[in-house]
Amino acid sequence: MSIDISQFYDVFFEESFEGLAAMESGLLSLSMGSADAEQINTIFRAAHSIKGGAGTFGFMTISDFTHVMETLLDQMRNGERDATTELTNVLLEAVDVLREMLTAAQQKIDSDESRIAAVRLKLETMLNSQSDNGSESTGPDQVHPQQVYPEQNKVSVWNIFFKPHPHLLQTGNDPVRMFRELDMMGSLTVVADDSQLPPFFDLEPEDSYLSWTLTLEGTVSKQDVFEVFEWVEDDCELTIELVSSNDSSQHDSDIELSPIKQPIQDDFLANAEPTGDDVAVQNDDSNQTSPVVSKALVQVTTSQPASSIRVGTDKVDSLIDLVGELVITQSMLSQIGDTFTEDMLPQLIDGLAQLERNTREMQEAIMQIRMLPISFAFNRFPRLVHDMSAKTGKQVELKLSGEQTELDKTVIEKMGDPLVHLVRNSLDHGLETPAVRRAAGKNETGLLWLNAFHQGGNIIIEVTDDGAGLNDEKILNKAIERGLVSPDEVLSPQRIHELIFLPGFSTADSVTDVSGRGVGMDVVRKNIVSLGGSVNVVSTLGQGSTFTIRLPLTLAIMDGQTIRVSDQHYILPLISIVETLEIKNSDIKHVSGKGELYPLRDEYVPIIRLYDVLGLKPIVTNLEEGLLVVVDGAESKVGLFIDDLLGQQQVVIKSLETNYRKVMGVSGATILGDGTIALILDVQGLVSLYKDPSLAHVIIADERAA
């Protein structure tokens, strides 16, 4: 029986990337000088776990690179080296390289060897320099796994007894790989004991029956030997005895190993080795190996790993309880159906109500499984702010709040790039240099604040800075210069601020590698709108700006308003609706080239007759006989003329693009309670179709060409 090891690789890479995030966060929060011991230990443990996992899987390049980082961290942990800005920056650069190496191994592609070598040289140069206590550190030609500890410069002979528990092989661990690691440390002799092997017909192929006595001679410490076996410390009997040594420091309490008991969660998943059966099935047409990726990894199927979510056991337990309730309700309804009589109608109604309640609770429980804290998106910004502050010479305090606010995993993944652009924009355009802030009477250190919170059925994300703010006059002049606004047009401050979201718009005086090309803010709005959200900005010159993003909690289910247009039913996302009005024909303004406009307080709202845009035969054409639904458009509010409102309900979104093709003005479809299908309207797409009806034909033509 072969073991599918792909799940083990997925867990190894997932935990390694989490470890890198912990290292990066720890390094960014380090205090210069004598760093906090607990912080250093946290960073060290993350590096040590990555090194151990990579070595077990055969990613020796990753393991060796991490070992150099671990040596530097060990010196900091032992008080031999203080934390400095130079050291922190080198370690952060090493974290980036390690992330690239892990990504390359995961995707089975080559790493950038020149970049790896350059950063490794920086690490080794740092190691080769004198440590803070004046002693000479390990040189680059001396960096080797068995030379981390001072006592390892002396030759020792170790006697090792290793007896795996019967189930060890089932965890994916292979003793042979451990022996190979020991053999790299010195001269190794291995003697196997097969006295516990049962008769052939009683032998279980997945159980372990052998034990080994090993003798290792070399410049090796007890800690080095134990590190080889620490992944299986709870799955074996292990004794390590010092036979002889010319180093007196090794003779203190070295007779028997006292294992270091540390919680190891799912570590055995990172130790799987493909069996012969796996290779035969999964490597039918590939015999070449990458110079960076180990042979074992190349032989695994090349299909992309499935996206995964870590779920707390409390959520799983809740779901199991709800399934039990659902089974009870189903059983009750089935019994009523078998013996139904007219006097049992109240029982049937109660049963259906209970079924509805259980279904709603199960829906909410399942949606909770998809929810992740937005800290997954926020965690990248301390490093981004650190790097950009160094590049621009600005002093920035980053404040994060609401990190535990939960959001759908898909929304978090798609919000990453828009948030990065908004943060970069605030750092580059918003916050001033220390000299400028000092002249303006401000604190030299600027504030950048990311805040997330729930509001109704939505999540709000605010990106706030106390920088220069938006210059209304400069924005308006640039818009007039580009022909986006007529010189005699009067715009409110809010409308002027909205201009920055137009394609190609930029007020930057020069183009840098950070921003200034006019590509970005329109993409930010487009990406947020594609998630069913909206973004707006409030800014005061000289005081700062706040970008507010409003998003649905999930893309799978949404609150919708059912409307009727002609003889068809459609769904409008409730988040897009501002208000619904009954209007009079006398209030309508007809403007040449702009159609019908409705005066709504201090602005004019263009009216879109949905039956025209959707190509339907109208039943109601008189505006007084229908309703006007005011919704948020891409740049301003618009009014959708409909026949009637039919009610609100939660709808399950089904993608049209996945199951059919892209349709302009429609974001998806759903099945209503009566079994009929209703299309979910895309407000931004409807506005685009209203402005240019030919877009509908472009979509169809592009789809046919593809």
> What residues are annotated to the active site?
48, 70, 425
How far are the Cα atoms of 373, 377, 458, 554, 573 from residue 408, in angstroms, in the given order?
A: 9, 12, 11, 5, 17
Contact 81, 72 (CB under 8 A): yes
Q: Which two tokens stand for residue 140?
A: 């680059």
Q: Which two tokens stand for residue 360?
A: 């709603």
**DSSP code of residue 83:** B
Mind spelling out the 3-state secondary structure of 411-452?
HHHHHHHHHHHHHHHHHHHHCCCHHHHHHCCCCCEEEEEEEE
Q: Which of 75, 71, 51 lies closest to 63, judged by CA?
A: 51
Count other C-beta atoms under 10 Å from residue 176's C-beta.
Answer: 10
Q: How many residues does the chain have?
A: 706
Q: Which two tokens stand for residue 67?
A: 């070992």
Q: Which of 544, 469, 484, 467 lies closest to 518, judged by CA?
A: 484
Q: Which two tokens stand for residue 490?
A: 């009067």
Residue type at 187 in one-letter notation: S
Phi and psi torsions of 282, nearest 5°: -100, 0
Question: Residue 279 and residue 299: Cα distance in Å, rounded?
Answer: 6
Token pair 């009870």 is at which residue?
328
SS3 at position 462: strand
Q: Which of 157, 65, 155, 172 lies closest to 119, judged by CA?
A: 65
Residues contacting 55, CB < 8 A, separation 6+: 63, 181
Question: Residue 622 and residue 216: Cα distance in Å, rounded?
Answer: 94
Element (H, E) at 549: strand 544-552
